[in-house]
Chain A
Amino acid sequence: MSRKTIDLWVGIFAVLGIAAIFFLSLRVSTVQTSSGAPYTVYTWFDNIGGLKVRAPVKSSGVVVGRVAAIRLDTQKYRAEVTLAIDPAYPFPRDTVAAILTSGLLGEQYVGLNPGGEEDMLAAGDTITMTQSAVVLENLISQFLYNSAANGNSNSGGDSSQP
C-alpha cells in the first residue's frame, strides 16, 4: 500500500467520521437554537409537584424557555422557580404561571398564560400570579373527605327512615 493510497483512505475515513458527527448533531439531536441570551424571570409557587430543572416553559403549547433553577425560599417557605425565557417571546406583566402536566403520566412543565397589560416582563422581574401543581394525593383526600361528609349526612337521614 503506497503512501498516497493510505492518505486517500484516511481522508475518506475522516470525512465519513465527521459526516457521522454532523448527522448525529443535526439530524438526530437538536442544538439549542435561540435568538440570543435568555432573560430570567422569577416565580414563587406553594407547591411545585414534580417539576425539575430544565423542564420546558410553554405558552399555548410552544416551548418558549426552560426552568433554570428551583430552590426553597426560607423567608417565605415557598418554592422559588427561575425561568429562562427566549428573548424572542416577550410576555406581559400580568402573565399567569402554572405548573401543568403533559398527558396523564407525562412530564411537568410551566405554562405561561399571558394577560392583557401593555408593559412587558423584563429580565429579573417576578411573575406574581401563579398556580401550583395539582397534587393527586391532596385531590383524592379532598374527594374522600367530601364524600365521607356527604355519606354521613345521607346515612344519618337514611337511618331515621326505617
Chain B
Amino acid sequence: MMDWLVTPLRHIGARIINAIWRLGFILRFFAALLLVSGQSFTRLHLTLREIWFTGVLSLSIIMVSGLFIGMVLGLQGYEILQRFGSGDALGIMVALSLARELGPVVAGLLFASRAGSAVTAEIGLMKATEQLQAMDMMAVNPLARVAAPRFWGGVISMPLLAAIFSTAGVFGGWLIGVVVIGVDHGSFWSQMQASVDFRIDIVNGFIKSVVFALAVSLIAVFEGYDCHPTAEGVSRAITRTVVQSALTILALDFVLTSFMFRGLS
C-alpha cells in the first residue's frame, strides 16, 4: 500500500549499505595486500616490470600534457596578471599552481586513466580466463604474485610522474612567458624562487601525489581483482576504476588542501 514510498527508500538503503560494505571490503583487501607485499620487494623484477608498465609507458603523455598545461597557464596567467601591471609575477603563478594543485591532481587523473585502467583490465582478464585460479592451484598466492607488484609499481611511479609533470609545466610556462611573450628571464625565475617555499609547496605537493598514488593503485588493483569474470564484468570494472579514481582524487585533494594550505597567509 505504501509501495511508492517504501521501494525507493529500500533502494537507497541498499545502495548505502552496499557502498559501506565495499569500503570495508577494499580496506580488508588493502590489509591483505600489505601482508603479502614482502614478496614484491624480494622478487624485485616483478615490481620493476610494473614500474616500466605504469611509469615509463606513461612518460610521454605526462610530459606532453604537462608542457601544454604549463603553456596554457603562461598565456592565461599573463593575460590576467598584466591587468594589474604584474606580468613579472608569471613565474610565481605557474610554479605555485603546478606544484600545489595541478601537478599532483592532473598527473593523478592521467595516471588513473592511462595506467590504472590498464592494470584493472589486465587483472580482470586474468580472472576471467581463470589464470588467478590456476595460480592458486599451483600454490602461488595470486595476491602476492599479481596484485602486490602492480600496487607497489603504481605507488612508486606516480609521485615521480607528478614531479615530471610539474617540471614540464614550469618549462612550458617559461617557454610561453619568457620566450614568446617576453617576460624578463631573471625576474621570472627570481620571483618564482622567492615565493615558492620548499617545505610548504613542494613537499606538500609531493605528499599529495603519494596519497593519490596509494588511492589510485589500490582502486585499480581491487577493481580488477573483484570484477565479474566475464567480458562485460571486466569492462564495467575498468569504468569503475576510472570514475572512482577521479572522484577519490578530487575529494582527497580538497581534504588535503584544507589541511595543508588553510590559514597560511
By the criterion CB–CB under 8 Å, are A30 and B163 in contact? no
By the criterion CB–CB under 8 Å, are A28 and B56 in contact? no
In the bound complex, residues from chain A placing their C-beta under 8 Å from that of B202 are: 24-25, 28-29
Query: Taking chain A's interface residues, is the majority helix, strand, or loop, or is none over half, making it mixed?
Result: helix
By the criterion CB–CB under 8 Å, are A10 and B56 in contact? yes
Q: Is B117 part of the binding interface, using a Cβ–Cβ cutoff of 8 Å?
A: no
In the bound complex, residues from chain B placing their C-beta under 8 Å from that of A32 are: 197-199
In the bound complex, residues from chain B placing their C-beta under 8 Å from that of A27 are: 189, 193
Stretch at the interface among A14-22, A87-95, A151-159: A14-22
Question: Once the chains are docked, how many angstroms separate the CA of A8 from the CA of B9?
Answer: 57
In the bound complex, residues from chain A placing their C-beta under 8 Å from that of B189 are: 27
Q: Is B124 part of the binding interface, using a Cβ–Cβ cutoff of 8 Å?
A: no
Taking A17-B160, A54-B265 as contacts, is the C-beta distance between A28 and B55 under 8 angstroms?
no
Question: Once the chains are docked, how many angstroms separate the CA of A20 from the CA of B164?
Answer: 5
By the criterion CB–CB under 8 Å, are A30 and B193 in contact? yes
Question: Once the chains are docked, how many angstroms separate the CA of A19 from the CA of B206?
Answer: 14
Stretch at the interface among B43-51, B73-81, B125-133: B43-51
Question: Once the chains are docked, how many angstroms separate the CA of A95 from the CA of B91?
Answer: 36
A-B contact pairs, 29 of them (CB 8 A): A3-B49, A6-B45, A6-B52, A9-B52, A10-B51, A10-B55, A12-B56, A13-B51, A13-B52, A13-B56, A13-B160, A16-B59, A16-B164, A17-B157, A18-B160, A19-B167, A20-B164, A24-B170, A24-B202, A28-B196, A28-B202, A29-B95, A29-B99, A29-B193, A29-B196, A29-B201, A30-B198, A31-B198, A54-B265
- Top 10 A-B pairs, shortest CB-CB distance: A17-B160, A20-B163, A29-B196, A20-B167, A29-B198, A31-B198, A20-B164, A6-B52, A9-B56, A21-B163
Interfacial residues, chain B to chain A (CB-CB below 8 A): 45, 48-49, 51-52, 55-56, 59, 95, 99, 157, 159-161, 163-164, 166-167, 170, 189, 192-194, 196-199, 201-202, 206, 264-265
- For the complex with contacts A6-B45, A19-B167, A27-B193, 11 further pairs of A-B residues with Cβ separation under 8 Å are A7-B45, A9-B52, A12-B56, A17-B157, A20-B164, A20-B166, A23-B170, A24-B202, A29-B202, A52-B265, A107-B265
